[in-house]
Amino acid sequence: MFSFFRKKKKNQVVGPLPTDFSFLGADMHSHLVAGVDDGAPELSVSLELVQEMKAMGFKKIITTPHVFSDFYRNEKNVIQEGGQVLKEYLQLHKKEIDLEVAAEYYLDRYFVNEVLPQGLLTFGDKYVLVETSMAGAAADFDDCLFPVLAQGYKPVLAHIERYTYHSDVSYFQNLKAGGVLMQLNILSLIGYYGETIRHTAEKYLAANLYDFCGTDLHHHRQAALLRLMPQQHPHAFALLASYPHFKNQELVSGAS
């Protein structure tokens, strides 16, 4: 079943609107490794969320547990082992999907001094998902980001629309010029994090800032909102489906 939209604005869908997220192919931001952060608390929940994502049309999941000094000091091997346990659990229940494990790294001195020297969990072409404080600009943000770039990683800054203290498009354009890629949280477009963030996400889409989008999936409520987005938020879904610069599809067959 398709909806049809006439072209009214730049990047708006012309013709049939997809009914699920299969046009993306891959999701590159979620929290599905059981019991390591604020995402799925146990394997049974991980399984249910994976099933939901398959039903939404995703062909590949790159799940990204938090690595954050104040709350989740997840060692690289702990994340990898948790990912392997999840893969085996999915196989046991015959719910297999192309699943990879990376991480979402919080940029701070602990990251630079303790985490980065051990090597980072990446996806695709040496992409590494990073985040910073949503409470206010970190004084050492550039100092934390530089060594990531210097070691040949390609940082993807998570959910940039949620850093409300930076609302100037030019700030993120300058970061992009320096080699930083940008990620959108899909739920931002339906106001899940508030109307200010929704408007900011729309502005950044119009400015062609984003390189990836992700579900940032933690729990069932978010999964339900994502599943219903094409029907309940067709305008937001059309903005997402018509954006021409997402690299998610490249990850389906890309090397990790």
Mean pLDDT, rounded, of the chain: 93
- Does the pLDDT at position 11 exceed 90? no
Alpha-carbon distance of 74 to 121, in angstroms, equals 12
| DSSP states along 94-162 | T---EEEE--EEE-SHHIIIIIGGG----BTTTEEEEE--SSS--TTHHHHHHHHHHTT-EEEE--GGG
CATH topology of domain 22-251: TIM Barrel (3.20.20)
Q: Is 218 exposed, middle or buried (0-12, 13-18, 19+ CB in 10 A)?
A: middle
The string of pLDDT tens digits covering residues 223-245 is 999 999 999 999 999 999 999 99
Mean per-residue pLDDT, 105-126: 97
Closest CA to 119 of 97, 148, 90, 160: 148
Q: What is the mean pLDDT of residues 167-180?
A: 96
Q: Which residues partner with 30 through β-bridges?
A: 217
Q: How far apart are alpha carbons 116 and 17 in whole angstroms?
A: 42
Sorting pLDDT into bands at 50, 70 and 90, what band is 96? confident
pLDDT value of position 7: 40
pTM of the model: 0.92
135-148: per-residue pLDDT in tens? 999 989 999 999 99
User: What does the pLDDT average to over 38-43?
Assistant: 98
Average pLDDT of the residues in 9-31? 81
Find the helix or strand (DSSP H, E) in which 55 lies. Answer: helix 43-55
Indicate if the pLDDT at residue 14 is higher than 60. Answer: no
The pLDDT, as a whole number, for residue 70 is 84
List the domain boundaries for the chain: 22-251
Give yes or no for residue 173 having a pLDDT over 60. Answer: yes
The stretch 94-116 carries a mean pLDDT of 96
CB 223 within 8 A of CB 49: yes
pLDDT at site 254: 52
Residue pair 30/23 in contact by the 8 Å Cβ criterion? no
Query: For residue 28, is pLDDT > 70?
Result: yes
Which helix (H) or strand (E) segment is 62 a member of? Answer: strand 60-63
Say yes or no to pLDDT of 12 above 90: no
Element (H, E) at 49: helix 43-55
Parallel, antiparallel, or unpaired for β 15-17 and 3-5? antiparallel
